[in-house]
A and B are shown apart, each in its own frame.
Chain A
Amino acid sequence: MAKRIDVSGLTAYYGSHKAIEDISMTVEPRSVTAFIGPSGCGKSTFLRTLNRMHEVTPGGRVEGKVMLDSEDLYGTGIDPVDVRREVGMVFQRPNPFPTMSIFDNVAAGLRLNGKYKKSELNDVVEKSLKGANLWNEVKDRLNKPGSGLSGGQQQRLCIARAIAVEPKVLLMDEPCSALDPISTLAIEDLIGELKERFTIVIVTHNMQQAARVSDRTAFFNLAAVGQPGRLIEIDDTERIFSNPSVQATEDYISGRFG
């Protein structure tokens, strides 16, 4: 059920400002692809174009093609709401719905879309929480508010919420940057398990994390402040971190700049 993403010639704008330019890459199904690069190089912007969240920002627009298997996400007649059901997202900061319990948070995607059977709901919530390695910690307090959990637990709750709607692709925008090392480890383990079922794309500032969790790594950079970000190269993670083909990648990874 995981799907392949094929991006070609993608350029994204905020109003008149060009944020990323002419990006083409393929994201393989059932694998983890990591995006690395300095701040402001457009990693998150690019990630948000993959489920049409970029256009939620006022002035945001996109040119180019994003193929999800055989369908162009930016083709005519494509409903962004349907795209987002196929391509789920986890954000930088844990953002459980404050008015909802733990159970309701996980069930939110199904409930809010109005497409579910009452009998299935309990199973889906349990399965999703188990899938996010959170079930054992919260099974006795499913009716407590989700905001009462720790930061790491909240982030896993958000992952459970995202996978409950059975997306084909899971986008993660720096999912561990607000977490401590132990919670980070829990999420990284989880990513390893989730890639059996989903196509995963993760943005990270932590190069060790990219090396640990990803199969392929893409390096983004920008020529200067104010210039659009570009994809410098994408390759197997091992190769990027041992013998990248572009000098700029090696400089960035070895800490010579940025």
Chain B
Amino acid sequence: MSDKNGSTSLRGASLPRWSPWAIAAGSLALAVVIGLAGGLDSHVQWGLIAAVLFVLGTYGVTARVEGRRQAKDRVMTSLVWVAFLLAVVPLVSLVWVTVKRGVKVLDVYFLTHSMGVVADTEPGGGIYHAIIGSLEQVGLATLIGAPVGVLTAIYLVEYGRGALARAVTFFVDVMTGIPSIVAGLFILSLMLMTKTQPFGFAGSLALAILMMPVVVRSTEEMLKLVPNELREASLALGVPKWRTILKVVLPTSLGGITTGIVLAVARIAGETAPVLLLVFGNPFINTNPFEGAQSSLPLYIYQQYANSAGSGAAYDRAWAASLTLIAFVMILNLAARGLARWKAPR
């Protein structure tokens, strides 16, 4: 800033601290006026107009008072805020709607009864059979996918050199992109060849295929974060390589590896397509994942919603099951965070 007699000052004019809030409130009010005047009945449109006005208003006001460089800075800040809100508002509204509609029929009865003798159009019934199915299928998939994934990652980071390691990395990348329906079809083709009927474990196999590459990727990143100095320190003590990996490398990265596994579990817990193909769905309680059709939460949600035409009861049950699924994934995430914090190297 230079004043009239040519000397420069380090102090420029600056907006008060509340100015971003004032501009936000102003643009919101203006957006409401424009919305009402223009007869726009969608609140989403009002919000988008407010966002645009906020960014433009910030630039205009700051450029007048503080100068162009500060204006750019503030515009970038407000863009980040707008992007943040655009991402968070739908998420919050999704959780809000699910909770609002889900709690209608979500109670202990709902969690402990199946749909065995309840027609889809009638009220009553529950998701016990679907919870059992989900837990068994996802549990078995984790028992297969997590160890294979972690071991593959250990191979890639600690041992893999040359063509084989490159090939494994390439195929893991390819597997990451497999659509869940394709994984389901793959197992289905095996089932058709062996002429078996749908059963829970078949779904687990497809889910394990989907889980493995996610676990490999996340575990690989975590193992790479372990400083090489620690491996060398252990080797220099005369500790064999396998023990170094088991006792030094894995404990150091345990928190991150567990978080990765839990996130992969959360991902497959919501998969519908392979379960629809391979486990088929079953309104009765079937606790044996190795024989007979089972249900699962995402499949239950899909089937209840598909049969909800003219029936409020099925519609409500679908929302309640969705809420249960979201709660399940959220609890898993929180557990993973807790574990990571507890196990983090101090």
Residues of chain A whose beta carbon lies under 8 Å from any beta carbon of chain B: 51, 53, 56, 58, 81-86, 88-89, 91, 93, 95, 97-99, 108-109, 111-114, 145, 147-148, 158, 161-162, 165
Q: B232 contacts the other chain (Cβ, under 8 Å)?
A: yes
Residue among A86, A98, A158, A165 with most chain B CB within 10 A: A98
| Pair A162/B236 contact, Cβ less than 8 Å | yes
Q: Among the listed A88, A112, A148, A162, which residue makes an inter-chain contact with B243, where contact means beta carbons less than 8 Å apart?
A: A112
Q: Give Cα A95–Cα B228 distance, bound, in whole angstroms.
A: 10
| Pair B237/A162 contact, Cβ less than 8 Å | yes
| Pair B234/A91 contact, Cβ less than 8 Å | no
B346 neighbours in A (Cβ, 8 Å): 98, 145, 147-148
A84-B236 in contact given A93-B229, A112-B247, A148-B346 (Cβ < 8 Å) = yes
B235 neighbours in A (Cβ, 8 Å): 53, 56, 84
Rounded to whole Å, the gap between the CB of A44 and the closest CB of chain B is: 12
Question: In the complex, what residue of chain A is closest to B243 when comparing beta carbons?
Answer: A112
Q: B39 contacts the other chain (Cβ, under 8 Å)?
A: no
A58 neighbours in B (Cβ, 8 Å): 161
Question: In the complex, what residue of chain A is closest to B236 when comparing beta carbons?
Answer: A89
A88-B236 in contact given A95-B227, A99-B345 (Cβ < 8 Å) = yes
A158 neighbours in B (Cβ, 8 Å): 233
Q: Give Cα A161–Cα B229 distance, bound, in whole angstroms.
A: 14
| B residues 319-346 in Cβ contact with A at 8 Å | 345-346
In the A-B complex, the 4 residue pairs with the closest CB atoms: A85-B238, A98-B345, A89-B236, A109-B237
A56-B232 in contact given A112-B247, A147-B345 (Cβ < 8 Å) = yes
Residues of chain B whose beta carbon lies under 8 Å from any beta carbon of chain A: 161, 227, 229-240, 243-244, 247-248, 251-252, 254, 345-346
Number of A-B contacts (CB under 8 A): 82
Q: Give Cα A95–Cα B234 distance, bound, in whole angstroms.
A: 10
A113 neighbours in B (Cβ, 8 Å): 237-239, 243
B244 neighbours in A (Cβ, 8 Å): 112
B243 neighbours in A (Cβ, 8 Å): 112-114
| Pair B238/A165 contact, Cβ less than 8 Å | yes
Rounded to whole Å, the gap between the CB of A52 and the closest CB of chain B is: 9
Question: In the complex, what residue of chain B is closest to A94 when comparing beta carbons?
Answer: B229
Q: Give Cα A45–Cα B163 distance, bound, in whole angstroms.
A: 28
Question: In the complex, what residue of chain A is closest to B233 when comparing beta carbons?
Answer: A95
| Pair B229/A97 contact, Cβ less than 8 Å | no
| Pair A109/B232 contact, Cβ less than 8 Å | no
Rounded to whole Å, the gap between the CB of B233 and the closest CB of chain A is: 5
Q: Give Cα A82–Cα B240 distance, bound, in whole angstroms.
A: 9
| Pair A53/B239 contact, Cβ less than 8 Å | no
Rounded to whole Å, the gap between the CB of B236 and the closest CB of chain A is: 4
| Pair A51/B239 contact, Cβ less than 8 Å | no
| Pair A112/B345 contact, Cβ less than 8 Å | no
B252 neighbours in A (Cβ, 8 Å): 97-99
Q: Give Cα A83–Cα B239 distance, bound, in whole angstroms.
A: 11
Rounded to whole Å, the gap between the CB of A146 and the closest CB of chain B is: 9
| Pair A95/B247 contact, Cβ less than 8 Å | no
Rounded to whole Å, the gap between the CB of A43 and the closest CB of chain B is: 17
| Pair A99/B251 contact, Cβ less than 8 Å | yes
A53 neighbours in B (Cβ, 8 Å): 232, 235-236
A165 neighbours in B (Cβ, 8 Å): 237-238
Residue among A58, A97, A165 with most chain B CB within 10 A: A97
11 A-B pairs with CB atoms under 8 Å apart are A53-B232, A53-B235, A83-B238, A84-B238, A85-B238, A88-B236, A97-B248, A108-B247, A113-B237, A147-B346, A161-B237
| Pair B238/A95 contact, Cβ less than 8 Å | no
B247 neighbours in A (Cβ, 8 Å): 108, 111-112
Additional A-B contacts beyond A85-B238, A97-B248 (8; CB < 8 A)? A58-B161, A82-B238, A88-B238, A95-B229, A97-B234, A108-B237, A113-B239, A162-B237
B230 neighbours in A (Cβ, 8 Å): 95, 97-98
| Pair B239/A81 contact, Cβ less than 8 Å | yes
Question: In the complex, what residue of chain B is closest to A90 when comparing beta carbons?
Answer: B236
A108-B234 in contact given A95-B227, A97-B248, A99-B252 (Cβ < 8 Å) = yes
Rounded to whole Å, the gap between the CB of B225 and the closest CB of chain A is: 11
Rounded to whole Å, the gap between the CB of B247 and the closest CB of chain A is: 5
| Pair B229/A91 contact, Cβ less than 8 Å | yes
Q: Give Cα A53–Cα B243 distance, bound, in whole angstroms.
A: 16
Q: Give Cα A148–Cα B346 distance, bound, in whole angstroms.
A: 8
